A = this chain, B = another copy of it.
Amino acid sequence: MKRIHLILLALATGLTAILTGIAIGHDKRPAAPIYGVKLPDGYRNWPVIAPAQEAAPLNELRVVVGNPKAMRAYRDNIRPFPDGTVLVKLAWKHTQSPDFAPASIPGAATTVQVMVKDSKRYAATGGWGYGRFIDGQPVDEAQHRTCHACHAARVKDRDYVFTRYAP
């Protein structure tokens, strides 16, 4: 029995080391000021909630994608969004297609913007934490101060979320 205990202890220690390694790995991702929001793993593979276009001066094409909790909430019309919902908006400069005159397409990537629902942690901002990233790095605190004020002023009645699901 002692030998089995030792083996189990060794396995548990190994597992702990691996999980700690993963956790430390995650912690290396830079966190947004104020909210501590990070770019979520794998978001580039998430399903589409909706595209959007933003006029000048930003002049961008955008796509908002959601994690499984977000997609379920949209499709089952669950509001407020449950804790754990994550929305990510990818944005690119809006440029003329070289191949087809009526079309315009993504140019250089600009920002990636994240909303994370955690009703306790972000109770002061309607349950949402915000992160805005350029090239994987969060922008400054002043920019992050603008996020919630705009959402609260315009779409408080939709749980602070602008984007509607595109059918």
Chain B residues with Cβ below 8 Å from A55 are: 102-104
Asked if A62 CB lies within 8 Å of chain B CBs, one says yes
- A99-B154, A154-B100 in contact; A166/B50 too (CB < 8 A)? no
A50 to B104, CA, bound (A): 11
A52 contacts B61, CB within 8 Å? yes
B-contact bits for A90-102, CB 8 A (1 contact / 0 none): 1010100101101
A58 to B51, CA, bound (A): 16
When all copies of this chain in the complex are counted, the total is 2
Nearest CB in chain B to that of A107: its residue: B166
16 contacts between A and B (CB under 8 A): A44-B47, A46-B47, A48-B63, A51-B92, A52-B97, A52-B103, A52-B106, A53-B53, A55-B103, A58-B102, A97-B162, A99-B154, A99-B155, A99-B162, A100-B154, A109-B166
* Interface residues of A, Cβ cutoff 8 Å to B: 44-48, 50-56, 58, 61-63, 65, 71, 90, 92, 94, 97, 99-100, 102-106, 108-109, 154-155, 162-164, 166-167
